[in-house]
Structure 1
């Protein structure tokens, strides 16, 4: 027996989740924010503008020298 929704494409596209800052947990309000994006161990992490600014030196310190 098959599910009544099997093969039904309607509603299969997930709504994009509102990003939350990986450091302080604040959620974005409105359109996609101009936050920093980091990929750590294959996981995409977003950082709000405030946390990005407060931790800029630490962020730059992890970049390869060719990026700065």
Structure 2
């Protein structure tokens, strides 16, 4: 899963079980909240997080607002 538990666009905690955060591209784990070097993207209404390595490698596509499926 690529979103934080309790992380909702509606401002409140959700009833979903807690899941650890992983990069939506390579699966690298993050301990705790998303590191400040990670990138958050909302694609088709779904929040996704990308690790710093994947973010750097795909910066041009991210800035061009291409969905990660196009990277």
How would you bin the TM-score normalised by the shorter chain? Answer: 0.5 to 0.7
Question: TM-score, normalization: structure 1?
Answer: 0.62
For 1:29, the equivalent position in structure 2 comes to 31
**Cα distance in 2 between the residues matched to 1:30 and 1:38:** 18
Work out the number of aligned pairs and report it: 52
**Cα distance in 1 between the residues matched to 2:33 and 2:64:** 30
Query: Which of the pair is proportionally richer in strand?
Result: 2
Which residues of structure 2 form unaligned runs of 5+? Answer: 1-14, 67-71
Question: TM-score, normalization: structure 2?
Answer: 0.60
For 1:3, the equivalent position in structure 2 comes to none
**1:1-68 correspondence runs (5 A):** 16-34=18-36, 35-62=38-65
